[in-house]
Amino acid sequence: MTREIQSAYLAAEGLLDPLLQELEGTTGVHNQLVLSSQPAKNAHWAQNIWRNPQVFHIDSISDAAKQLKALQRNWCLYSHTLHRRAKLIRDKLPPVNSKPMRFPSLLSASPLGSFTLLDENTLLASTDCSSPFPNGEAHFVEDKNGPPNRAYLKLYEALTLTGTTPQPGEFCIDVGGSPGGWAWVIHQCDAEVLSIDRSPLSPSVAELKGVSFQKRDAFTLLPEELENRRIDWIFSDIICYPEKLYDWILKWVESGVCKNFICTIKFKGEPDLAIADKFAAIPGSHVRHLFHNKNELTWFKLGDPAA
Ligand SMILES: C[S@@+](CC[C@H](N)C(=O)[O-])C[C@H]1O[C@@H](n2cnc3c(N)ncnc32)[C@H](O)[C@@H]1O
C-alpha cells in the first residue's frame, strides 16, 4: 500500500473537506494529512504539499534519524500517531528554528522537509514541500498595539511568501481595507496606500503618513480613473462573492496598469473549486491557502504588468 504514495497534502485545521474534494487517488487520511497515489498537484486548499514522498523502513529511532539526515539537514515532524516515538526521532535531528518570525523576514534558503510515522517501522518523508513553514504554519511576532485587528498577519504571511514587500514610495490600492490592518502593514513598509471601503478606517490608521481613504463601493473604481497614476500593488480583502471580485480584478489585470496583486477569495459555506481554478488560470498567478486564511484562499499575481 505504502508504495503507492506519490504525494501527500496537509490540510489546515477544519478544512479537510475542501482539500479532499480537490484530490484524486486518496489512499489514506491521517488526521489532517492526506496520502495520494497520484503525482503532486497544486491543491489550493493544502497548507503544505509533500511532493514525491519516500517510504522508509526504520529499525530504530536512531536509524530513522540517520536516514533522514542522510537526505538533508532540516526536517519538520507531522505527528498523527506514535507521538512519543515520532518526537524522539525529531529530537535526534538537527534543531530547526521554530521561533515566531519578525516581519519582514527573508525565508531560509535551506529546504525544510516533512516526515511522519505511518507505523512503528515505517516512515514517510518528503524533501520537496510546498511550504517553507513547519507544517505550513506561519507564526509571526505579533504587534498588539499598532494594527486595529489581526488581518495584518494574513498580509505578513502573503508578503513573506512572495519574498518582497511594497517598497518605499510605491503606491498601493487596498480595497475592502477597513478597519486598516493591511493599510497599517503597507505603512510599515514606507509605501503609500489608498484604502477604499464602505466603512471608515480606524482613526489610528487613518492618521498615518501616506495613508489616504475613500469611502465608496470599491467595485466602482476602474483603471480609467487612475490612468495617470503609477500603481504598484492592488490588495483586496473585500468580503464579496468570488465571481464579483474575479470580474473586477480581470479589468485591472487586462488594463496592465498594475504589476502586483494579492487578493483574498472568500467563501460563504461550501468553497467553490471552479472559481478558485479560474483565478489560478489568470496568467502568471497562483492561488493558495494561507495559515492565516480561514474559509478563504489567497490569489497572488506578481511581476511585470506586460509579462
Ligand atoms: C475582512 S474586512 C477587511 C479587513 C482589512 N483588510 C483590514 O486589514 O483591516 C472586509 C471589508 O470589506 C468591505 N467591503 C465589502 N464590500 C465592499 C465594497 N463593495 N466596497 C468596499 N468595501 C467593501 C467591508 O466593509 C469590510 O470592511
Question: What pLDDT does residue 2 have?
Answer: 55
The distance between the two most distant Cα atoms of the chain, rounded to a whole number of Å, is 68
Q: What are the structural domains of the chain? A: 2-136 (3.30.2130), 152-301 (3.40.50.150)
CA–CA separation, 229 vs 234, rounded Å? Answer: 13
Percentage with pLDDT > 70 across the chain: 98
Question: Taking the complete model, does pTM exceed 0.85, yes or no?
Answer: yes
Q: How far is CA 90 from CA 7, 76, 126, in A?
A: 22, 8, 15
Compute, in angstroms, the gap from residue 180 CA to the centroid of ligand 1: 9
C-alpha cell belonging to residue 141: 511576532
For the segment 15-63, what is each residue's pLDDT rounded down to a tens digit? 999 999 999 999 999 999 999 999 999 999 999 999 999 999 999 999 9
Q: Which residues line ligand 1 (CB under 6 A)?
A: 149, 151, 176-182, 196-199, 217-219, 237-240
Compute, in angstroms, the gap from residue 233 CA to the centroid of ligand 1: 17
| Atom 24 (ligand 1) nearest CA | 176
Q: How far is CA 1 from CA 78, 122, 126, 134, in A?
A: 20, 12, 17, 27
